[in-house]
Structure 1
Amino acid sequence: MEAVESLAELLDEREHLLEIARWRFGSPATADRAVQETYRRWYALDPLERAQIAEPRAWLAQVAGTISLDGLEPDEVDPLVHRFALACTTGDVRALRATLAEDATVITDAGGNLRTSPHPLRGADQVAAYVSTLLTRRPGANLTTEPVNGHPGLVLRNRTQAIAVITLTTTPTHIATVYIVLNPKKLTPWHVS
Structure 2
Amino acid sequence: MEVTASLAELLEEREHLLEIAQWRFGSRATAEQVVQETYRRWYALAPAERDVVEPRSWLTHLASTINPDGFEPVDPLVHRFALACTTGDVPGVRATLASDATLVTDTGGHLRTTPHPVRGADEVASYAARLLTRHPGCHLTTEPVNGHPGLILRQTTQAIAVISLTTTPTEIETVYIVLNPSKLTPWHRT
Q: Does 1:188 align with 2:185?
A: yes
Distance 1:113 1:37 in 2: 33
Distance 1:88 1:144, change over 3 A: same
Distance 1:132 1:175 in 2: 14
Q: Does 1:70 align with 2:29?
A: yes
Where in structure 1 are there 5+ consecutive unaligned residues? 1-21, 42-66
Deviation at 1:115, TM superposition (A): 4.1
Where in structure 2 are there 5+ consecutive unaligned residues? 1-7, 32-67
CA deviations 1:159-191 (Å, max 9, x no partner) are 101010000000121000000000000001101
Distance 2:117 2:151 in 1: 19
Deviation at 1:32, TM superposition (A): 2.0
Q: Which residue of 2 aligns with 1:51?
A: none
Aligned length: 143
2:161 aligned to which of 148, 159, 164: 164
Give the 4+ runs in structure 1 shifted more than 6 A. none
Q: Does 1:129 align with 2:126?
A: yes
Deviation at 1:34, TM superposition (A): 3.5
CA deviations 1:17-56 (Å, max 9, x no partner) are xxxxx9xxx6754652332332x35xxxxxxxxxxxxxxx
Deviation at 1:113, TM superposition (A): 6.9
Distance 2:21 2:109 in 1: 38
Q: Which residue of 2 aligns with 1:3?
A: none
Letter in 2 for 1:32: L
CA deviations 1:87-107 (Å, max 9, x no partner) are 112111101100000000000
How well do the aligned residues superpose, as a CA RMSD in angstroms?
A: 2.3
Q: Which residue of 2 aligns with 1:175?
A: 172
Q: Which residue of 2 aligns with 1:34?
A: 19
Q: Which residue of 1 aligns with 2:59?
A: none
Q: Which residue of 2 aligns with 1:155?
A: 152
Letter in 1 for 2:189: V
Q: Which residue of 1 aligns with 2:64?
A: none
Q: Does 1:79 align with 2:76?
A: yes
Letter in 2 for 1:34: E
Letter in 2 for 1:70: A
Q: Which has the larger radius of gyration?
A: 1
Distance 1:156 1:120, change over 3 A: same
Q: Secondary structure at the match of 2:28?
A: coil
Distance 1:175 1:89 in 2: 17
Distance 2:27 2:134 in 1: 25
TM normalised by structure 2 equals 0.68
Distance 1:112 1:36, change over 3 A: closer
Distance 1:172 1:141, change over 3 A: same
Distance 1:179 1:30, change over 3 A: farther
